[in-house]
């Protein structure tokens, strides 16, 4: 199969449409061709007039480990072109940045999750391109989490850099498809094109991630496909006092880690509360001591997700529900445990709002966890309605 970048480079007609144009590339470390050449190098070698490059959160080089670690603008030492940061002084491209090119090639590998900020970066680029008459081409890449949709829709008024629009946590789209939905939803007038993949089968072998392509981290803590599958659930731990495994070699592949919680008891409670939410993977008790971040230097008991190998059942795996269930089990067993990070933690630069609410696009999940009378069926009903609505809304934008 071919990703968008490979199709572009092999199609002389497409390349010809870039002749005489100044071209910008939005990229990160996973922006590579099939032979692992970085897209920036491959485009310039193909004779494309690349006049600027843009790096999203974590930088063009992908060197910034944590969230909210900004990247400065720089000049590429090999090509002498400006490299603009879209996670530094600004998150939305400025007029000066937009003036650096005529066509913007967007080549970011996504994880299929609303909170992964490359989705928001695409929206901001489309909005600025619509104001300045620039063209945007998405060089499409797979959604490694596949087509399944899960989670409640972001509630209007809760938009942030980790919540661009009313979409569910696990959105089931490629970036190219998401661009079409953004243009439709926001009524944007922009010259937009998707250089589609060739041969991608979202329901084929790999369940989204093709088995003949190796994995390259699109961000430092996105280490493998297991993480990509689990992320729509485990990312919510960033709004909790519990560890999401940062400071270990398998971050965001655990349901939680903490020095003062009995993981085995939590797992038993999860099975008791909603066994059907536990399907599609294996859950294993483990221990870790983070070298940095939450609970650094402290032994933590944890539950690790294995949505991989013979344990993975694509259609049954529900990471968002499973993570909610882990919170619910902890709240049941430890009623007074301070699960949520407070408003003093300004998640993605928000003010006076709990990080868990920013992440989930509203307060419904937190309120369900904290309400002793709330049952799994209550959250399931809320999410199921939103999921059905989203699937119907985006059906006409699917390219594969």
What mean pLDDT comes out for the span 337-356?
93
pLDDT higher than threshold 90 for residue 63: no
CB-based contact 242:257 (threshold 8 Å)? yes
Closest to 123 measured CA to CA, from 85, 158, 78, 91: 91
Work out the widest C-alpha separation in the chain, in whole angstroms. Answer: 65
Place of tokens 């809760």: 158
pTM of the model: 0.96
pLDDT of amino acid 348: 86
Determine the 3-state secondary structure of 270 from DSSP.
Answer: helix
User: How many CB atoms lie under 10 A from the CB of residue 358?
Assistant: 24
Q: Are strands 74-75 and 23-26 parallel, antiparallel or unpaired?
A: unpaired
Catalogue all structural domains in the chain, each as residue range(s) with its CATH number: 4-218 (3.40.50.12170), 225-362 (3.90.1150.140)
CA atoms within 13 Å, Cβ hemisphere of 127: 14
Using 50, 70 and 90 to split pLDDT, how confident is the model at 62?
low
pLDDT of amino acid 70: 73
Q: Output Rg (C-alpha) for the chain, integer angstroms.
A: 21
pLDDT, one tens digit per residue, over 133-167 is: 999 999 999 999 999 999 999 999 999 999 999 99
CB-based contact 343:358 (threshold 8 Å)? no
CB-based contact 295:251 (threshold 8 Å)? no
Six-digit token pair at 33? Answer: 């061709």
Q: What percentage of residues in the chain have a pLDDT greater than 90?
A: 95
pLDDT of amino acid 67: 59
pLDDT higher than threshold 90 for residue 2: yes
DSSP structural state of residue 302: E
CB-based contact 307:229 (threshold 8 Å)? yes
Six-digit token pair at 234? Answer: 């485990």
Determine the 3-state secondary structure of 365 from DSSP.
Answer: helix
pLDDT of amino acid 58: 86
């Amino acid at each position: 199969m071919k990703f968008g970048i490979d199709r572009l480079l092999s199609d002389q007609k497409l390349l010809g449409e870039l002749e005489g144009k100044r071209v910008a590339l939005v990229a990160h470390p996973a922006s590579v061709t099939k032979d692992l050449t970085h897209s920036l190098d491959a485009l310039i070698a193909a004779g494309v007039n690349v006049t600027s490059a843009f790096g999203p959160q974590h930088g063009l080089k992908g060197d910034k480990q944590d969230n909210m670690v900004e990247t400065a603008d720089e000049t590429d030492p090999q090509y002498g072109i400006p490299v603009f940061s879209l996670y530094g002084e600004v998150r939305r491209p400025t007029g000066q940045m937009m003036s650096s090119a005529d066509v913007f090639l967007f080549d970011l590998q996504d994880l299929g999750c609303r909170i992964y900020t490359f989705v928001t970066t695409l929206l901001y680029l489309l909005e600025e391109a619509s104001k300045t008459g620039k063209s945007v081409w998405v060089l499409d890449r797979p959604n490694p989490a596949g087509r399944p949709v899960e989670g409640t829709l972001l509630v209007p008024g809760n938009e942030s850099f980790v919540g661009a629009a009313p979409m569910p946590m696990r959105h089931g789209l490629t970036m190219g498809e998401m661009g079409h939905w953004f243009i439709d939803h926001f009524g944007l007038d922009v010259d937009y094109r998707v250089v589609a993949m060739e041969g991608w089968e979202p329901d084929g072998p790999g369940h989204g991630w093709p088995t003949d392509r190796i994995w390259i981290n699109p961000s430092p803590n996105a280490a493998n496909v297991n993480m990509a599958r689990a992320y729509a659930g485990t990312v919510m731990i960033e709004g909790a006092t519990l560890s999401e495994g940062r400071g270990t070699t398998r971050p965001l592949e655990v349901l939680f880690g903490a020095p003062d919680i009995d993981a085995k008891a939590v797992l038993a409670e999860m099975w008791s509360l909603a066994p059907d939410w536990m399907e599609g993977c294996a859950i294993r008790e483990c221990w870790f001591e983070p070298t940095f971040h939450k609970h650094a230097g402290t032994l933590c008991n944890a539950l690790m997700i294995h949505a991989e190998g013979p344990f993975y059942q694509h259609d049954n795996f529900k990471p968002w529900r499973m993570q909610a269930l882990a919170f619910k089990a902890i709240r049941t067993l430890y009623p007074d445990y301070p699960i949520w990070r407070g408003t003093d933690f300004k998640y993605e630069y928000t003010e006076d709002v709990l990080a868990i609410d920013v992440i989930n696009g509203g307060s419904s999940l937190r309120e369900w966890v904290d309400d002793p009378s709330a049952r799994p069926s209550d959250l399931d009903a809320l999410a199921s309605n939103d999921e059905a609505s989203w699937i119907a809304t985006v059906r006409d934008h699917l390219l594969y």
